[in-house]
Amino acid sequence: MTPVTDESLMAAHLRGDRAAFRELVERYADGLLRYLVHMTANRDQAEDLFQETFKKVHEKAHTYRGPVFKSWLFTIATRATIDHLRRRKRSAMLSLDQEADCGQDSGSSLAETLASEDAPDPADELVREERKQQVREAVASLPVKQRAALVLAYYQQLSYREVADVMGCSLGTVKTQMSRALATLARRLPESISVTK
């Protein structure tokens, strides 16, 4: 049996098929909520933005032209998040610990990647946790567009081209944002913490 594509689900949704929309929500719920929690570091805000995103998907379904639903969805979520953070006029703390609010994920978090070292004993584990906290704080201090590019590339594993589509900018701009973000992290983090992907 051929799997149902996102595009066919969107077409069915436009015809009034409520089950098709529910299927889209179920397909992307975990990844989208994880992304929003990373961007806001607040589960309640992330859940509100999750609802707002899918409300806009429903309202703007007639504007969807494909072919990649995931990019379109994350474009809507990113714009809603940036608008939200601008409205709040405060620095949003970015949680890089995937287990914190979002359940478990098979991939390692950026904080773990940047602070990775074997931790065979409790003293080493304390050092590792301190490094992860330093990474969280450094990333939280990044401008929102740099933070969005970093989270989309690391957590959602989007290519730079897909990140550019989501953020509505050029590929060169994404590369610049990522370069600046990584350079800032390299300056703000101790030399013992690697800042490579």
Classify residue 194: in a domain, yes or no: no
Residue 79 in this model has a pLDDT that exceeds 50: yes
Task: Single out the residue of 88, 94, 84 nearest to residue 152, CA to CA.
Answer: 94
Task: Average the pLDDT over 65-73 and give the result.
Answer: 85
Question: What Å distances lie between residue 166 and 40, 67, 72, 157, CA to CA?
Answer: 17, 13, 7, 13
Task: Average the pLDDT over 65-91 and give the result.
Answer: 81
Comparing 101-105, 114-118, 152-156, which segment has the lowest mean pLDDT?
Answer: 101-105
Q: What is the pTM of this model?
A: 0.66
Per-residue model confidence (pLDDT) at position 52: 95
- Own/partner pairs for 193-196, CB < 8 Å, 24+ apart? 193/114, 193/115, 193/131, 193/134, 193/135, 194/114, 194/116, 195/114
Cβ of 118: how many Cβ atoms within 10 Å? Answer: 7
Write out the residue range of the structural domain in which residue 94 sits: 6-188
Q: Given pLDDT bands bounded at 50, 70 and 90, which one contains residue 2?
A: low
Q: Given pLDDT bands bounded at 50, 70 and 90, which one contains residue 37?
A: confident
Classify residue 20: in a domain, yes or no: yes
Task: Average the pLDDT over 87-100 and give the result.
Answer: 46
Classify residue 85: in a domain, yes or no: yes
> How does DSSP classify residue 128?
H
Per-residue model confidence (pLDDT) at position 50: 95
Is the pLDDT higher at 95 or at 168? 168
Mean pLDDT of the chain: 79
Provide the CATH number for the domain around residue 177.
Answer: 1.10.1740.10
Task: Count structural domains, the chain.
Answer: 1
For residues 48-76, one letter each, b for 16 or more C-beta atoms within 10 angstroms of the residue's C-beta and e for the rest, the string is ebbebbbeebeeeeeebeeeebbbbbbbb
What's the start-to-end Cα distance of the chain, in Å? 38
Classify residue 109: in a domain, yes or no: yes
Classify residue 27: in a domain, yes or no: yes
Task: Average the pLDDT over 36-54 and give the result.
Answer: 89
DSSP string covering 142-168, please? Answer: S-HHHHHHHHHHHTS---HHHHHHHHT
Per-residue model confidence (pLDDT) at position 98: 41
Classify residue 1: in a domain, yes or no: no
Classify residue 193: in a domain, yes or no: no
Classify residue 163: in a domain, yes or no: yes
Is the pLDDT higher at 104 or at 139? 139
CA 37 – CA 191 distance, rounded (Å): 28
Residue 170 in this model has a pLDDT that exceeds 80: yes
